[in-house]
Structure 1
Amino acid sequence: MSFPSDIEIAQINEHDKMKNINEIAAKLGLTSDDVEQYGHFKAKIASSGIRKAMKNDDGKLILVTSINPTPAGEGKSTLAIGLADSLQAIGKKSILALREPSLGPVMGMKGGATGGGYAQVVPMEDINLHFTGDMHALTSATNTLAALIDNHLHQGNQLNIDPRRIIWKRALDINDRALRNITIGLGGPANSIPRQDHFEITVASELMAVLCLSQDLDDLKERIANILIAYTYDKKPIYVRDLHVEGAITMLLKDALKPNLVQTLENTPAIIHGGPFANIAHGCNSILATKLAMKLGDYTITEAGFGADLGGEKFMDIVAPKLDHAPNAIVIVATIRALKYNGGQALKNLENEDLNALNLGFKNLKRHVQNMRYYHVPVVVAINKFATDTDNEIKLLETLCDELGVEVQVADIHHHGSKGGIELAKMVVKAADKDANYTRLYEDAQPTIEKIDTIASEIYGANNVGYSPKAQRQLQTLKDNVWDDLPVCIAKTQYSLSDDPKKLGSPRDFTLHVKELVPKLGAGFIVVLTGSILTMPGLPKEPAALNMDVDNDGRISGLF
């Protein structure tokens, strides 16, 4: 008998086991007045609930990250969800803080962000699709700002904006390569000023980062006001505050700023809020969601996007300083199939035992363990078990981890839910009780070029950073405008420690190619675009959307 699909498991369990969201809120000490319900099983945490929670002490924070994945992903979200369920199963008051899914990967290839098997957040269809409307609000706010910029040009351009130097992009929450580079304003004077424009996926928009880093509405408004949108003809910066529309944009996001409350299949509370990609943005759920979770639970499980070289590094160097609370422990998710892939085994053969490829690919896990140890926080390796893993492969991986001196535990959460992660949960509790001495990789006061060099050498293994002529000019612009004291958010491929997705395993002594630097002054960091990374992905030849359907009763099929 074949194992049921994720949506089949979710639909069966949703009807049998889901609790009214007020019951989930009550587990956290919140009343029905502290949440704003979106039906029976979803809610936003209201301002009263946020204020009440912030009076509590912080619980422990566990960061879940991973090795470099295969193109299909390695179940990091599944393991994070299952770990929270397993902690609950051993009597701990656990809570999840996760990112919201984007329609790009949902309709594309990677899938959603609600876990899998018997470790899922529910209602999974709602969360993976429109949820509570946060993505729509962000998309609308992004495009409203774009429309206001173009209207300013059309109405006389009092700010002297150079149409060739508008850096604000429109957004859409779906992969659409046809919109990467477009021409707008055609059709004569009645249709505004013709110019080149661009779209990026909503989760790469600066407004997504701003939302995820804001503490409250006043902070959100101030950050929006500080967003750099363009330069004048004499190359002076223009900000949102120069248009006097920060209030209007904040208004569109007032509800989106409130974190969303749902539950797992085992009724563990989950706060799901914000969803920047880690390969083109900073890759972590909102600051507000993580802070709330720490105030409401004894153990908060949060997830950083993609591998530890991307989401993990960004959490530790960008997010943790703003949280004023570094993780008490870091869990690095590894799969035997991804390690074999990093060791040279072909994708089509990953189900076959290959101890040599596993041994070679272990270098990838070793590098990620060493990288996370730079931050002086306890590290645990979780082996996310797949049905095709053999006893010989598991034994070899455990031996290699023992030789490295890192604690390791196999978890079979996908098939068994919390029961498959009990020993991992116990190991994580012990790790979180150890002394941690969080140390950041760099300081903001360092020049941008030094921060990039540090990440490139210490985390990626590069021995050189090469800058395009455009990036060299932009480095000077950062200095001229005194924007040099911000953290850096490096956009690169998730498939390699380098900026070349074909360099698998543990590459060393390569050049990191920087093609562009984009000041995100509302978010408070500099985005560094490397290699061939794009902020608007494309759909694959056979997108997941081909398998999706809905019947006359509204029952969805094919959603994973």
Structure 2
Amino acid sequence: LSIDPRTITWKRCVDLNDRSLRNVIVGLGTRIDGVPRESHFQISVASEIMAIVCLSKSISELKERISRIIIGQTYAKEDVTFGQLGCTGAVAALLKDAIRPNLVQTLEHTPAFIHGGPFANIAHGCNSINATMCALACGDYVVTEAGFAADLGAEKFMDIKCRMNGISPDAVVIVATIRALKMHGGVAKANLSEKNTAALEKGFENLKVHIENMAKFGVPVVVAVNKFVSDTEDEISALEKLTSSAGARAVLCEGWGKGGSGAVELADAVVQMCSQPSDFKNIYPLEASIEEKINILAKEIYRAGSVEIEDKAKKKIRQYEDAGFKNLPICMAKTQNSISHDKGMLGAPVPGYVFPVRDVQLYSGAGFIVVFAGDIVDMPGLPKVPAAQNIDVDDNGVISGLF
């Protein structure tokens, strides 16, 4: 195939955090050990194969998507696809059971499909379309999760998953906690159990942006407030009033502590929302240029004042558009800790800030373009204090420190 090793974009994949594998040199040794070149690892939840498994409805579609993955270029600068390697069928054989949703049940025997794991901060953040379609065929109401906050999973659910499959939600449930809003209001994590209505009101600006963002998709919104034992009546009342002033309804949810009986009011609210008229629409048109779509997301969802795209990313964008990939949706990779690209920018984003785009990557098989904003990477590292340092086991085999 005359593949130029310097152009290979297909990354190796492993399901663990290891920052030392982000950039590696392979092929060292003798001639039979390969050609020395720089390569990269990514975590499995960010891989294109994970996205393809979650977006394929059949084995034939799975094979078609795998075959069109671009892995690099020839010395003549022509794209080389996975299909040209002649092993699409072998990969599909490994995944033939993986595309089938897993049916499980809750403690109260409610059926649930658990299937797929693309993280919403570095991938498209939704369960498989097969799981969603199976659930829709089995129940009157289907609740599907979109990962992390609404600026990530929900946006990608609307603009990638729904758009690709011709489906649309009847209602959006934004999950919030009083503790999280107080954190966005400047309270240290160690003090989140203390009553602080002023911090709650300040941190509500974050939730307000999410409510406004979801309204832009033309779908009714309800806020589910997961109750903690430390929440006070004054704080709950304040949040209900703030949410109402933002044009949505806040409903207390005690499902974690009481099971289904603690979520009845929320379920009733969702049913009521689903009966309201909706006018679902995507946040950007596919026919817009790649840079235009990035700008729309940055300004409409992440509330940036402007966008700054590095030259390397601009060059790749031009190459993608010249190759006919202009009309693909955008899969933004950015921090999950902030509406912006900056994990330290809590609450609502600072007006007028610059949204930086560092790199872009074509996922031609999955059918979208990954855009890397800020310092986000697709191979995480362990934190300064890894969880492993808190885990132990005694002579009776009892493990401690897992949670």
TM-score normalised by L of structure 2 = 0.96
Counterpart residue identity of residue 512, structure 1: F
1:301-380 mapped onto 2 (5 Å cutoff): 301-380=143-222
Q: Does 2:130 correspond to 1:288?
A: yes
SS in 1 for 2:113: strand
SS at match of 1:196: strand
One-letter amino acid of the counterpart of residue 63, structure 2: K
Contact (CA 8 Å) 1:211, 1:274: kept in 2 or not?
yes
Residue 241 of structure 2 is matched in structure 1 by 399
Matched, 1:439 2:281: yes
The answer as to 2:286 corresponding to 1:456 is no
Amino acid across the alignment from 1:321: R
Matches within 5 A, 1:214-293: 214-293=56-135
User: Which deviations, in whole Å up to 9, do the C-alpha atoms of 1:181-201 show, x marking residues without a partner?
Assistant: 111111111211111111100
1:193 counterpart residue number: 35
The answer to whether structure 1 residue 511 and structure 2 residue 346 are counterparts is no
Which amino acid in 2 is paired with 1:434?
Q
Unaligned runs of 5+ in 2: none
Aligned to 2:320: 478
Which has the higher relative contact order, 1 or 2, with Cα contacts under 8 A spaced 6 or more apart?
Answer: 1
- SS of the residue corresponding to residue 5 of structure 2 reads strand
Q: Contact 1:488/1:526 (CA < 8 Å) preserved in 2?
A: yes
Q: Can you give the 5+ residue segments of structure 1 that lack an aligned partner in the other structure?
A: 1-158
1:300 partner SS = coil
Q: Give the AA of the match of 2:381.
A: G
> How far, CA to CA, are the matches of 2:54 and 2:16 in structure 1?
20
1:206-240 deviations in whole A, cap 9, x for unaligned?
Answer: 00000000010000000000001112233221110
Name the SS of the counterpart of 2:357 in structure 1. Answer: strand
Aligned runs of 1:126-137 on 2, under 5 Å?
A: none
CA contact (8 A) 1:276 1:282 kept: yes
Counterpart of 2:370 (choices 508, 527, 551) is 527
Give the secondary-structure state (helix, strand or coil) at the position aligned to 1:474: helix
Q: Does 1:420 align with 2:258?
A: no
Q: Deviations over 1:321-357 (max 9, x none)?
A: 2232211110001111111111122222212222221
Task: Tell me how far apart the structure 2 counterparts of residues 534 and 484 of structure 1 sit (CA, whole Å).
Answer: 24
Count the aligned residue pairs.
402
Cα distance in 1 for partners of 2:271, 2:379 equals: 39
Q: Secondary structure at the match of 1:299?
A: coil
Q: How far apart, in 2, do the equivalents of 1:553 and 1:271 lie? A: 35
Alpha-carbon distance, 1:544 to partner: 2.9
Query: Is this contact kept in 2: 1:160–1:232, CA < 8 A?
Result: yes
2-side partners of 1:313 and 1:426: how far apart? 25
Does residue 499 (structure 1) correspond to residue 341 (structure 2)? The answer is: yes
SS where residue 380 of structure 1 aligns?
strand
Q: What is the TM-score when the length of structure 1 is the normalising length? A: 0.70
Shift of 1:506: 0.8
Following TM superposition, by how much is the alpha carbon of 1:469 offset from its aligned partner in structure 2, in angstroms? Answer: 1.3
1:174 corresponds to which residue? Answer: 16
Report how far residue 527 of structure 1 moved: 0.3
**In structure 2, what residue type is equivalent to 1:221?**
K
Q: Secondary structure at the match of 2:314?
A: helix
Inter-partner Cα distance in structure 2 for 1:448 and 1:434? 34
Alpha-carbon deviations, 1:246-297, whole Å to 9, x = none? 1111111111111111111111111111100100000000011101101111
Distance across 2 between alignment mates of 1:187 and 1:477: 34
Q: Which amino acid in structure 2 is aligned with residue 332 of structure 1?
A: I
Decide whether aligned partners of structure 1 residues 225 and 556 sit closer, same or farther in structure 2, where only a CA change above 3 A counts: farther
SS at match of 1:303: coil
For 1:138-217, what aligned pairs fall within 5 Å after superposition?
Answer: 159-217=1-59
| 1:525-552, Cα deviation, whole Å (9 max, x unpaired) | 0000110001001112333344556789
**Distance in 2 of aligned mates of 1:492 and 1:484:** 21
| SS of 1:477 mapped into structure 2 | helix
SS in 2 for 1:514: strand
**How far did residue 166 of structure 1 move?**
0.7
Distance 1:291 1:551 in 2: 46
Supply the AA of the counterpart residue of 2:255. Answer: I
Distance in 2, Cα, partners of 1:558 & 1:344: 28
User: Structure 1 residues 416, 200: closer, same or farther in 2, change over 3 A?
Assistant: same
Q: Is the 8 A contact 2:239 2:250 kept in 1?
A: no
**CA displacement 1:457-477 (0-9 Å, x = unmatched):** 111111211111110111110
Q: Distance in 1 between matches of 2:346 and 2:271?
A: 32
- Matched-pair contact (CA < 8 Å) for 1:517–1:528: yes
1:227 maps to amino acid = I
| Residues 331, 371 of structure 2: 8 Å contact kept | yes
Cα distance in 2 between the residues matched to 1:325 and 1:554 = 48
Q: In the alignment, residue 188 of structure 2 is paired with which amino acid?
A: A
Deviates more, 1:413-422 or 1:280-289: 413-422
Q: Secondary structure at the match of 1:409?
A: strand
TM superposition shift of 1:161 = 1.5
CA distance, structure 2, for counterparts of residue 556 and residue 227 of structure 1: 43
Decide whether aligned partners of structure 1 residues 510 and 537 sit closer, same or farther in structure 2, where only a CA change above 3 A counts: same
